[in-house]
Structure 1
Amino acid sequence: MEERGHLLTEQINPSSANLDRLSSLELVDLFNREDQKTLDAIAGARESLARAIDRAAHALGRGGRLFYIGAGTSGRLGVLDAAECPPTFCTPPELVQGIIAGGAGALIRSSEDLEDRAEDGEQEIARRHVTELDMLIGITAGGTTPYVQGAIQAARRRGATTALIACVPVSQVPVEVDIDIRLIVGPEILAGSTRLKAGTVTKMALNIISTGVMVKLGKVYGNRMVDVAVTNSKLHDRALRILRDLTGLNRDEAGYLLEKSGRSVKLALIMHWTGLDRDSSETLLAEHHGQLRAAIDSYRDRDSQTSDNTKS
């Protein structure tokens, strides 16, 4: 078995050498100091994170899918981020997918032994029919997980865009990918427990990537999630608040507009701002690939030109 003690994620943190002798308050303070390093790690990876956003948005914009793949904590974080996309951005479940070694059962029951099977990662890529249209982000704190390495190599052979999220320097674990995201947070408070700082910074990175991608795809207007799926009372209330904030309508008027639009906040806004009916609003939005701001700006420019021509 390969010796991994040299990896940054496996090394001993001198700041926590007396961890078992600390009071509860001292424990909290130590965690707080160490967790500050996650912000620096994100800042250090800002350019690679931006490239990941652009490449993923390009992949999804041309009909591809975004996959996260990992084992253990890394796999669970990928599955969590993927699972939150449909309710937050009204995306189909297949658009962003999380893959974890051991499948769904591994979400609640440890199956870390499966991370050593590179062939399982390869088979998962084949089973999902990954193509050159897709993007795969491998997540592995130590960078060496065979399951993830196998998946990345298989995806590359199929022409997919590949990225890696790891918490060790490239010099320790070089990996051939299109986008290499290294989140350097140093050794864990509890030696080797990468569900701590490494897990936290990975969640932060995934938040940035998935939200950034959805912004690029037109799922956001200003800082509102205008593609919100109205599937329960909380989300219905959020949709009404978005409409009221952006249009100045009262709650009853916003509710009527929302129902008239088929419970689509985007369409409701277009209908209100342009006076178009639902079908025409859908056509306008489709012409601009779901980009609400572009659709509204185009309509207003067209309307202004028509008005000028009428006057002349």
Structure 2
Amino acid sequence: MENRNPDTEKTSNYNDLEKMSTSNLLSNINKEDKTVPDSVEKQIPAIEKLVDEIVSKMETGGRLFYIGAGTSGRLGVLDASECPPTFGVSDQMVIGLIAGGDTALRNAVENAEDDTEQAWSDLEPYKISEKDVLVGIAASGTTPYIIGGIQKARENGIATGCVTCSSGSPLAQASEFPIEVITGPEFVTGSTRMKAGTAQKLVLNMISTSVMIKLGRVKGNKMVDMQLSNKKLVGRGTRMIMEELNVEEDQAARLLQEYGSVRAAIKNCYKK
């Protein structure tokens, strides 16, 4: 049954926003934001189930797909795009798709989220299969693009999860591993880029980071497989090697240049 009044559409607890001082606006927004981590914490058992499912699929060559629209879609694409530089994985391991395509990352694409068939069409070029996991992201949990994609995935034996901020939504009902972070009314009524968006970002951080740690992409607490794509990251990699091997900066820098990654430098030096 369709959720006709998503929690994310409820009227703000505040009124006459335009009459508030700048200080009051900022304080009240911050007051609302402080509630988000507590809402996320309540969903840790649900997040755990989804993470373990993703890990089990990825251990046998599977991939993680995110689908979303608007802010939710952008957050999925963002999380996916940060996995290769952070953890040194292929850009085909975590894939984010947004309703309306890449144009929608910067500009709204009219009616893109209303097509129940389009998500599956967007996924087909990737040959998504039962080896993979599909996670739908939608604050209201009512977006046709995402629901249609999740339903079609389940019909094809693909594991599905979702991240939504409304209770009892059609998206959660359609998903095998639903995560429902109930953030309540937004400061500006219906503006889900605020608390709901923050909650989704936190959950996606938890999912991808935990998955990559469990797949061995972190050593100790270090990003040993990160891509050395700029001076800051080369410096970070050098410091990691200095700490791990107890060597001077010049030697650590040489080792990093020679082996091309923190992991390889440490591994080869321990062999010697």
Same fold per TM (> 0.5)?
Answer: yes
* Cα deviation, residue 5, structure 1: 5.7
Distance 2:221 2:25 in 1: 36
Query: Which AA in structure 1 matches 2:263?
Result: K
Distance 2:125 2:267 in 1: 40
> In the alignment, which residue of structure 2 is the partner of 1:94?
92
Q: Does 1:116 align with 2:114?
A: yes
Distance 1:85 1:274 in 2: 29
| Kept after mapping to 1: 8 A contact 2:2/2:169 | no
> In the alignment, which residue of structure 2 is the partner of 1:270?
267
Structure 1 residues 1-312: aligned runs within 5 Å? 6-14=5-13, 16-111=14-109, 113-170=111-168, 174-261=172-259, 263-275=260-272
| Kept after mapping to 2: 8 A contact 1:138/1:152 | yes
Distance 1:46 1:112, change over 3 A: farther
Query: Which AA in structure 1 matches 2:19?
Result: R
Distance 1:152 1:171, change over 3 A: closer
| Kept after mapping to 1: 8 A contact 2:67/2:136 | yes
Query: Which AA in structure 2 matches 1:188?
Result: E
Q: Aligned Cα RMSD in Å? A: 1.7
| Kept after mapping to 2: 8 A contact 1:10/1:192 | yes
CA displacement, residues 114-153 of structure 1 (integer Å, 9 cap, x when unaligned)? 1010110121222221101101110000001000011111
State the TM-score, normalized to the length of structure 2: 0.95
Distance 2:134 2:251 in 1: 44
CA displacement, residues 18-67 of structure 1 (integer Å, 9 cap, x when unaligned)? 21211100001101110111111111101111112211122222101101
Query: Which AA in structure 2 matches 1:56?
Result: I
| Kept after mapping to 2: 8 A contact 1:125/1:155 | no
Distance 2:150 2:137 in 1: 10
Number of equivalent positions:
272
| Kept after mapping to 2: 8 A contact 1:13/1:188 | yes
Distance 1:79 1:112, change over 3 A: farther
State the TM-score, normalized to the length of structure 1: 0.84
Distance 1:20 1:95 in 2: 45
Distance 2:265 2:191 in 1: 48
Query: Which AA in structure 2 matches 1:193?
Result: S
Tell me the SS of whatever aligns to 1:255: helix
After the TM superposition, which of the residue ranges 76-85 and 249-258 deviates more from structure 2?
249-258
Tell me the SS of whatever aligns to 1:111: coil
* Cα deviation, residue 232, structure 1: 2.0
Tell me the SS of whatever aligns to 1:181: strand
Tell me the SS of whatever aligns to 1:118: coil
Distance 1:259 1:199 in 2: 39
Distance 1:121 1:46 in 2: 27
5+ residue gaps, structure 2: none
Distance 1:132 1:66 in 2: 11
Query: Which AA in structure 2 matches 1:68?
Result: Y
5+ residue gaps, structure 1: 276-312
Distance 1:114 1:257, change over 3 A: same
How much identity, in percent, do the aligned residues show? 41
More helix per residue: 1 or 2?
1
| Kept after mapping to 2: 8 A contact 1:5/1:11 | no
Distance 1:107 1:218, change over 3 A: same
